[in-house]
């Protein structure tokens, strides 16, 4: 399948991201790897990023090149110090919490920040010899904000676009991040800066105008300090047909979950990396409140939470794991029975087909992050449903997906009682209402799928006039 506009103009697409999907693996955790893997698997071009490995001689080693069909994947290792300072340090201890409104968790160490900027320079250094004139370079996520600046410093004249997979917080939050000015300037060096939602884009525009002395021009253009960029919205999506087909494969097979003796057992499912942004303790407390306040559901509902490990060496991730595991034990000990386990908690990755089948078997998808760029699982849950008897999506207002998936039951993830009553509503919702909501949601998930995301970004990126495509205006 062609890569939209880049290919029509015979331009090569070069994607750069910290995490590169393992295109041979069945399980992939993390929205960026899943979406880019789907967007690029059948494409031509070059994908450059971190191998996921560390080695002491990484700086003296050439990129490792692999070919997957027409796609070339080039990766470099990080040194242990780079892993610590760039990935675990500035990117994931400072930027990640700040972008998700958690300044209280942001730890910014000067040495880590220096290494973050140095690794971006090393990415540029390694990428430059692989570039060809006219390439369109598409950079992804908060790990690589300084990359356009570093490439241009080395004489790169290609157009360079950026997509932020996380939220862009309100400008007062972003302005509090150490090195924010350098980051703001670096973002303005991209030709296109893409965001998940209108509200992320507005936050960025308010930052540029309010904190960088910039201004909004016609269309989606923003200008500050002599640089102009096209800031637009491209909500990321999934491979809807692919996920739906995986989900259907289980039809006619025995259920993946144990059957209740009387056949009357509903499943609520959650699938998230075990990250503090995902609101897992609040979600567990809401399930506990459901069992407490709506005793009719006891023995007739179970909550399956799949939460694979992520960034495990950071103390704040160890804390959230302890808290989640304590709550799971507390709920199971308090409400469970010899033949009923209220919470099934699984701390590992699963193949996509198993996730898809579990979503199809579940009456409720509970996606309640405290903040999230988009949240692909919300879209996967919808894609997996049986059209004739669909389940109900309970979705956080603070997930980017809530801007599109308005017919979900939208909740405040900080309000445990509201979540409990919404779970009761979802578990008892008549089929007609479930069906009406599902139909609208499915349509929107299908329209804004991963191909639409990729192609609309490429179209804006390729257009030489200043009249970019606004996906919400279609």
Separation of alpha carbons 90 and 111, rounded Å: 9
* Cα separation, 159 vs 197, whole angstroms: 23
Q: Which does 27 bind (CB under 5 to 8 A by kind): ligand ADP, ligand F6P, none?
A: ligand ADP
Order across the sheet with 13-19: list the strands.
64-68, 71-78, 45-54, 13-19, 136-140, 159-163, 192-195, 227-233, 221-224, 215-216
Chain residue at closest Cβ approach to ligand F6P: 30
190 touches, from ligand ADP, ligand F6P, none (C-beta below 5 to 8 Å by class): none
Binds 376: which of ligand ADP, ligand F6P, none (CB < 5-8 Å by kind)? ligand ADP
Whether the Cβ atoms of residue 120 and residue 16 lie closer than 8 Å to each other: no
Question: Does 34 participate in binding ligand ADP (rule CB under 6 A)?
Answer: yes
Q: Contact between 109 and ligand F6P (CB under 6 A)?
A: no
**19 binds ligand F6P, rule: CB under 6 A:** yes
SS3 387: coil
CB of 419 to ligand F6P, least distance (A): 24
Under rule CB under 6 A, residue 308 binds ligand ADP = yes
Distance CA(348)–CA(355), nearest Å, equals 12
The active-site residue out of 191, 372, 449, 455 is 372
Select from ligand ADP, ligand F6P, none the partner in contact with residue 355, using the beta carbon and a kind-dependent cut-off of 5 to 8 Å: ligand ADP
Residue 33 in the binding site for ligand F6P (CB under 6 A): yes
270 scored as a contact of ligand F6P (CB under 6 A): no
Active-site residue (options: 165, 220, 272, 275) = 165
Specify whether the CB–CB gap between 370 and 413 falls below 8 A.
Answer: yes
* 15's tokens: 């994607």
* Cα 390 from Cα 437, distance rounded (Å): 9
In the numeric block, the tokens 């005793």 are attached to 295
Torsion of CA 346, 352, 356, 357, to 10 degrees: -70
The DSSP letter of residue 471 is G
Task: Please give the residues from 247 up to 276 whose contact with ligand ADP meets the rule CB under 6 A.
Answer: 271, 273
Residues within window 359-378 making contact with ligand F6P, judged by CB under 6 A:
373
| Under rule CB under 6 A, residue 310 binds ligand F6P | yes
Binds ligand F6P (CB under 6 A): choice among 311, 347, 425, 440: 311
Q: Is the CB of residue 275 less than 8 Å from the CB of residue 267?
A: no
- Decide if 466 is catalytic: no
Query: Does the active-site annotation cover 264?
Result: no
Q: Which residues are catalytic?
A: 165, 372
Residues that bind ligand F6P (CB under 6 A): 19, 30-33, 141, 165-166, 310-311, 373
Binding site for ligand ADP (CB under 6 A): 27-32, 34, 271, 273, 306, 308, 349-350, 355, 374-377, 380
């Amino acid at each position: 399948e062609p890569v939209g506009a880049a290919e029509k103009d015979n331009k090569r697409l070069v994607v750069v991201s910290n995490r590169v999907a393992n295109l041979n693996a069945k399980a992939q955790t993390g929205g960026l790897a899943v979406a880019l893997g789907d967007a690029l698997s059948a494409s031509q071009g070059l994908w450059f990023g971190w191998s996921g490995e560390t080695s002491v001689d990484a700086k003296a080693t050439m990129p490792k090149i692999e070919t997957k069909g027409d796609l070339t994947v080039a990766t470099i290792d990080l040194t242990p110090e780079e892993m610590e300072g760039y990935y675990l340090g500035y990117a994931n201890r400072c930027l990640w919490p700040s972008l998700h409104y958690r300044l209280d968790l942001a730890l910014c160490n000067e040495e880590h920040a220096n290494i973050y900027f140095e690794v971006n320079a090393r990415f540029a250094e390694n990428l430059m010899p692989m570039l060809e004139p006219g390439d369109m370079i598409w950079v992804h996520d908060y790990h690589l904000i300084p990359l356009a600046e570093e490439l241009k410093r080395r004489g790169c004249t290609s157009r360079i676009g950026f997509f932020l997979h996380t939220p862009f917080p309100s400008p007062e939050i972003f302005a509090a991040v150490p090195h924010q000015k350098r980051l703001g300037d670096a973002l303005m060096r991209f030709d296109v800066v893409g965001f998940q939602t209108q509200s992320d884009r507005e936050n960025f525009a308010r930052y540029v105008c309010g904190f960088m002395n910039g201004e909004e021009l016609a269309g989606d253009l923003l200008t500050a300090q002599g640089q102009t960029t096209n800031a637009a919205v491209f909500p990321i999506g999934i491979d809807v047909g692919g996920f739906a087909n995986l989900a259907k494969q289980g039809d006619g097979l025995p259920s993946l979950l144990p059957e209740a003796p009387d056949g009357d057992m509903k499943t609520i499912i959650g699938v998230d990396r075990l990250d503090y942004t995902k609101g897992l303790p609040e979600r567990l407390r809401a399930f506990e409140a459901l069992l407490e306040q709506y005793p009719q559901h006891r023995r007739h509902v179970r909550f399956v939470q799949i939460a694979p490990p992520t960034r495990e060496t950071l103390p704040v991730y160890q804390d959230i794991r302890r808290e989640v595991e304590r709550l799971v034990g507390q709920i199971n000990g308090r409400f469970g029975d010899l033949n009923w386990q209220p919470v099934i908690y699984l701390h590992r990755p699963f193949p996509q087909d198993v996730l898809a089948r579990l979503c199809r078997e579940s009456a409720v998808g509970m996606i309640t992050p405290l903040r999230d760029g988009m949240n692909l699982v919300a879209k996967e849950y919808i894609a997996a449903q049986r059209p004739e008897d669909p389940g109900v999506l309970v979705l956080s207002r603070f997930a980017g997906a809530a801007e599109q998936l308005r017919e979900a039951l939208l909740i405040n993830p900080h309000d445990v009682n509201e979540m409990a009553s919404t779970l009761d509503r979802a578990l008892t919702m008549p089929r007609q209402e479930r069906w009406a909501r599902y139909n609208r949601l499915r349509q929107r998930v299908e329209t804004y799928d991963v191909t639409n995301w990729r192609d609309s970004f490429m179209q804006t990126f390729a257009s030489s006039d200043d009249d970019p495509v606004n996906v919400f205006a279609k």
